A and B are shown apart, each in its own frame.
Chain A
């Protein structure tokens, strides 16, 4: 069964450094998302991406965050200058087509630890 893959599984970075989290969505999916989950808290929406542009972003997704789909398969989340509070699990998700009953499939996540 096709799945969303994310790399790395764990990233440890010094505060102020840039990080890039990578995702390969399911190949025939058109809608892509990033979510994060701080330890012990709920899963929070960060950004959605469709047709090579951001379709919606949350208040969390400030100027330090950016997303890109550089080559038609990878979908990346970049944090330009990391802060301690960016430590969380980051999940990539993808969805095949439009419709409220179309499920999002999640990758295994990247655990980001900021020191």
Chain B
């Protein structure tokens, strides 16, 4: 069973702080990971993906991947109240040309003004 685990939170940070969201995975064959943001009652929205060990930065977001530790994280710098949402970690699993996504339960982030 290929699992993606996340701390469900809630994680509460003050506006302007760094929010750190973590994810671990069980399948050593997983090559890449996606971070999606999901507002309450809405659909998942792609934030970032990462497939190489190390850091990948996009604006206020930094994804970090450590394949040896089977750990992936998302840092949000200068957190804003509009960042308040559930953040989903997802890993694609190949079967032929299909890459279904396995999602974690998500971490609820609240940014307090």
For the complex, count residues of B whose C-beta is within 8 A of A.
27
**Complex Cα spacing A91 to B32, Å:** 22
- Say yes or no: B101 contacts A100, CB within 8 Å: no
**Complex Cα spacing A102 to B111, Å:** 30
User: Scoring B residues 53 to 64 as 1 if CB is less than 8 Å from chain A, else 0, what string do you get?
Assistant: 000000000000
- Say yes or no: B49 contacts A101, CB within 8 Å: yes
How many Cβ-Cβ contacts under 8 Å join chain A to chain B? 70
B28: Cβ under 8 A from any A Cβ: no
B69: Cβ under 8 A from any A Cβ: no
A33: Cβ under 8 A from any B Cβ: yes
- Say yes or no: B32 contacts A55, CB within 8 Å: no
Most buried by B among A42, A89, A98, A107: A42
CB distance from B32 to the nearest CB of A (A): 5
A45: Cβ under 8 A from any B Cβ: yes
CB distance from B33 to the nearest CB of A (A): 9
Please give, as numbers and ranges, the residues of chain A lying within 8 Å of B34 by CB-CB distance. Answer: 103-104
CB distance from A30 to the nearest CB of B (A): 9
Where the two chains meet, the residues of A that have a C-beta atom closer than 8 Å to any C-beta of B are: 31, 33, 35, 41-45, 48, 50, 55-56, 58, 89, 91, 93, 95, 98-109
Chain A to chain B: the 4 pairs with minimum beta-carbon distance, closest first = A55-B98, A43-B103, A106-B43, A98-B97
